Structures are given as structure tokens and as C-alpha cells.
A and B are shown apart, each in its own frame.
Chain A
Amino acid sequence: MDAAAQIFAGGLFQGSLYAVMAVGLALIWTTIGVFNFAHGVLMMLGAYVAWQLTELGLPFFVVLPLSVLLMAGFGWALQATVVRPLIGRPNIVLVVVITTLAAASLVENGALQIWGPRSKQLPALGDGNTMIFGVGISLHQLTIILVTPFVLLGLWLFLHKTRHGLALRAVAQNEDASLLVGLNVRALYGLAFAISAGLAALAGIFLGGYRFMSPVMGADPLLKALIVVVFGGLSSITGPIFAAYLIGFFEAICSYYFGLYWTPALLFAVLIVTLMIRPQGMFSSKTRGLA
């Protein structure tokens, strides 16, 4: 019984983390139709920016939103340099993979230069541990579990109840028609990237609070986000959200029974099997819709 509760808590935590990590990636894929390989690096940068701000003495409740905003701006800038100029090219997906990869390498090495290779740590979102239903869990993890649904809800509200959210959904569904209705599609691309980067920054701050940060910390989350997005389906962002929690639980179960070493292999196997039976992902529909 105790094990089950532990696994449940662990799965919930991992799932929340994955949801925040993957949703940004899915956002870009559904609106713009490209894969941002710099997503992991954005998480890392978010963590480092937050770290730098706390070093400057700012209180954490200022640091968090400030970092997210700064990273949103960075995401917008990233899009303007390595994605927007390529719009209209026939193999844009491939080229963007390459440019975002190069950008990722750039940012990673840049971070290495600026902050050095030694591990750093961010303050946790809550200090100490607590017991819930007989399960020991850190406050940091608990905060993440509780905060994530609100973040996702906020995103959903933005997409469904605001004008710009509507515009983003429209672009995801039919770009030509969006142009004909007078939408500034390029600016919307920037918005999508900004939101995605902000979410990535949040994920990075979550990670930095309980794991050691290093310039290469973004590689593993990127891979995980990738698996979640592919598993969840590339046609909307709700699919990956479900998938995130599912995979979070799956990973918790695997880690408990098979140990940490084999979990990546098992996850990868899941990825392969999914792609073979249902290439569009578990929770997707035929049309690309964003939400």
C-alpha cells in the first residue's frame, strides 16, 4: 500500500513536470509546424536566468515571473532569427531542426562561458518535506504538483477565451485562411514561441529547484518532452498533456520495479511501439487543432 502511494505521488510529480515541459513544444508544433530542438536549452536558460536573478538579491516571488517574462522575450527573439526567415521554404521542418539545433549548441556553450560548468542550484519552491496520506514528499514537489494544473488551465483559458488565443488556434488549423482574415501570422508565430519559451523557463525553474543545474541539463528534458509529445499526438496540446501524466506514472512504476537504469530504454521502447501502431500518437485526431 505504501509503495502504491509512493508511486502515485512520484508519478503525479513526474507527470506534472513532463506536462509543463512538453506543452510548449506541442504548442510550436501545432501552430507553426516545426520542431524546436532548442526547447531543452530554453529550460536550462530559464533556470540559469532565475539563478542569476536570485544571486542579485531579488526575492523569489519576483524572480519567477521575471524569469518567465525574460525567457518569453528570448523565445520571441529566437524565433525571429532562426525560424521566421525560413518561412516559405519547402523543407522548413528539416531546416528548422538544424537551425534550432545550432542555436541550442550556441546557447549551451554560451551558458558554459558565462556561468561555468560547476553545478548550481535554485532555491526550491518550498523548503522541507511533508507527509500526505502516509507518503513523504518535498514541499517543492508538492508545489509543482499543485501549481501545474493551474498553469495548464491558464493556458487553456488564454487559447479559448482571448482574441489572441483564438488567433493562435486559427493559425494552427488553417494558415492560409488566417492570412485571408487579416491575421498577422508572423507576429503570432512570435507569440507562440514566446509562450513556449516562458513555459520552458518555468519547467527549468521547477527542475533547478530539486536537481543540480548544469549547462547541459536541457538535453534529457528535451528527449523526455519529445517522447511525451510524440506519444500524446502531434495534433493538439491536450494530447501531450494526458500523455505527460501517463508517462509520468509509467516512469514511476518502471523506476520502482526496474530501477532507474532501464527506464530510459523502456520509455524509448514505448515511443517506438507507439509510432509503429499509431503514428499520430495516442490522443490525437486527424486534424491539427492546437486545443
Chain B
Amino acid sequence: MLLGFAVLALLPFLVSDSYSRHILIMAFIYAIVASNWDLSLGYGGVFNFGHLALFGIGVYAYGLLTKFLGLDPWLALAASGVISTFAAILVTLPILRLKGIYIILVTFGFAQLVMQLVLSQSDITGGTQGMVRIESLYIPGHNLIRDQKLGYFYIALGILVLSTIFLRVLVRSKVGASIIALRDNEEYAVSRGISLARQRVITLAASAFFTGVAGAFYAAYQRNASVDVFGMSLSTIILSMVLLGGTSTIYGAIIASFVLTIFSESMADFGAWRPIITAVLIIAVMLVYPSGLAGAAQTMFRSLGRLRRNSTAAPAEASEPHTSR
């Protein structure tokens, strides 16, 4: 996978116009959000419907910190990540021991609540108009817009790399294994001493940090913020990236993000038909390929080299970090 990133790092030499780089930067941002969503959804088995709200919190946190507190943009970037993490912990508290549909409902409500909050505090957030002229990031002695957004490109890529490394390390660690164990066989994991509540908090908090940072970067890059980020359309698009890539595969989400962003941009001419076509795609994928493209690939591998699995092997599976649905 280092190869993949190396390729990405060299892309600016191939792709040198501002617009294409913009698309790639957006793809990077979406990839971060999507892969982090996969952490809680795919690996943790917790459907956090408010994940995009964490992104939105990052966006507005950055805007507010730089605008009203005059915080240094880089600090604000990191701080936004922290704030999103706190928000995630906050939303986890009510759903600590809830199951299935209730988690979805509460997190959905949370997302709506955050949006209402932002809208209602229109004095500082700009309400439906949003915030404009947000302070951007800077590298001393280098104008980021220069060279067709080269600077932004590498910063975005950098964040993506950090996020991916973080996710990979987490998933392969003991913490990651326990998260997966809880997803696969909750009763067993709990009986083995894994604390459901604690792991849930960790899962959601971990998924929030880089999402918030991505949000902050988005604000810094676009230099404005609007409540659209809390809308259903963005959630649907990012969710489709997670699903298309296949849940519980970090790279799947990233690749799907690229595919979908580029695909979506190439459809820009279709205007309002874009969300419609996206929606049709999601439905089609869900009907045909429940495990997403990555899942389909994995199924192929599995049937090629069939492992004889015993039905009583469930506990043993929990220690495998890459168990997929």
C-alpha cells in the first residue's frame, strides 16, 4: 500500500491543472471521512448515522476558532480534530448499551440536533448563509494556491496518509481486535472481559479525530462553511463510498472514494441528475453486492483458496484483524 501512496504523491506531475487537482483534493477529503466511518461502521459494527455531523463540527470548529478566537490555522486544524472527538464521546454516552436500530435513530437525531444548533446560533455561524472568508492554512514562504493548488494537494494527501496509518495501526492492535470481537460475537467478547461501553467510546472517538481534521481542512481549503455538510446528500454519498468499497476494509473505502468522486465530477454536466444517479447506484450495489466491491473480490479469493472453517471457530476468528463481513 505504500506503493499506492507513492503513486498518489507523484500524481501532481501527471495531473497539473487546477481543476483536476481540486477533484483529487476533494477525493482525499472524502476518503478520510469514509475510511474513518468504516472504522465505526464496518469494524465496530456501530452504525453512527451522525458521522458526517462530526465532519461538520470540524468544519465549523475551524471556522469559529480562526475567526473568533484568532487561533493559528494549524493549531485550529488539530483542535478541530480534538473537538470532534469530544463530540463523538458525547454522542456515545446515550448509546453505550443500545443495539441496532436504536443506535441509528439516536445518532440520526444527534446529527439533526447539531445542524439545528448551528442554524440557531446564526450570529456566529451565519445560519443558512454559512461562514465566509475563513482563514486558510499557510506554509511560510509558499502560497498554497500557487502551482495549481500544489500545496493543498500535499497537505490533503498528508492528512490522508496519517489517517490511514492511524486506522491501520488501530485495527491491527489489541484495541482493534477487541472492537472486532465485540462486533462479531458480543456476548462472548463481553464474557472474556472486554468492556462494551469502553470499546464503543474508543471506536467512535477514534473515528472522529481525523474526520474532524478533514472537516477543518475542508473549511480552510474552501474558505467557507455551510450547513450543507450536515445534509442528507453528503451523508448518502460518503456512505455509498463506504459501502461500495466494502465495509471493514480501509482501502476499499479510500478507493471507492476516488472512484465515486471522479465519477461524480464527470457527471457534473448532468446537474440535478447527479444525486439521482448516485442514489440508483447505491441501491443497485446494495441489491447485488452487499459486501461492496472489496467484499466481492474477497469472496473470489476465498473460493479460490478455500479454508475449512469449523462452526465453533467463531472465538478464534475474533483475533484475526481483517475479518470481513
Interface string of A229-240 (1 = CB under 8 A from B): 010001000000
In-complex Cβ contact of B279 among A91, A97, A103 (8 A):
A103
Q: How far is the CB of B64 from chain A (nearest CB, A)?
A: 19
A77 at the interface (CB under 8 A from B): no
In the assembled complex, the Cα of A75 lies from the Cα of B40 at a distance in Å of: 32
In the assembled complex, the Cα of A58 lies from the Cα of B67 at a distance in Å of: 55
Interface string of A255-281 (1 = CB under 8 A from B): 000000100110010011001100100
Interface string of A90-104 (1 = CB under 8 A from B): 010111011101111
Q: How far is the CB of A54 from chain B (nearest CB, A)?
A: 25
Residue of B nearest to A272 (CB): B94
Residue of A nearest to B236 (CB): A105
In-complex Cβ contact of A268 among B102, B104, B109, B276 (8 A):
B109
Residues 135-155 of A contacting B (Cβ, < 8 Å) = none
Whether the pair A264, B113 counts as a contact (CB closer than 8 A) is yes
- Interface of chain B, main secondary structure: helix
In the assembled complex, the Cα of A193 lies from the Cα of B109 at a distance in Å of: 24
In the complex with contacts A98-B286, A99-B286, A271-B109 CB distance below 8 A: yes
Whether the pair A86, B287 counts as a contact (CB closer than 8 A) is yes
Whether the pair A279, B102 counts as a contact (CB closer than 8 A) is yes
Residue of B nearest to A89 (CB): B290
A57 at the interface (CB under 8 A from B): no
Residue of A nearest to B120 (CB): A261
In the assembled complex, the Cα of A270 lies from the Cα of B90 at a distance in Å of: 16
Interface string of B99-115 (1 = CB under 8 A from A): 01110111011101100
Interface string of B230-258 (1 = CB under 8 A from A): 00110110011001000000000000000
In the complex with contacts A268-B109, A272-B106, A101-B236 CB distance below 8 A: yes
Q: How far is the CB of B40 from chain A (nearest CB, A)?
A: 13
In the assembled complex, the Cα of A138 lies from the Cα of B166 at a distance in Å of: 59
In the assembled complex, the Cα of A227 lies from the Cα of B102 at a distance in Å of: 11
In-complex Cβ contact of B290 among A95, A106, A108 (8 A):
A95
Interface string of B270-281 (1 = CB under 8 A from A): 001101101110
Residues 218-255 of A contacting B (Cβ, < 8 Å) = 219, 223, 226-227, 230, 234
In the assembled complex, the Cα of A108 lies from the Cα of B235 at a distance in Å of: 15
A109 at the interface (CB under 8 A from B): yes
Binding site for B on A (CB under 8 A): 35, 81-82, 85-86, 89, 91, 93-95, 97-99, 101-106, 108-110, 112-113, 219, 223, 226-227, 230, 234, 261, 264-265, 268, 271-272, 275-276, 279
19 contacts between A and B (CB under 8 A): A82-B287, A91-B325, A97-B104, A99-B286, A101-B235, A101-B236, A101-B239, A102-B280, A105-B236, A106-B275, A108-B232, A109-B272, A110-B276, A113-B276, A234-B101, A268-B110, A271-B105, A275-B95, A276-B94
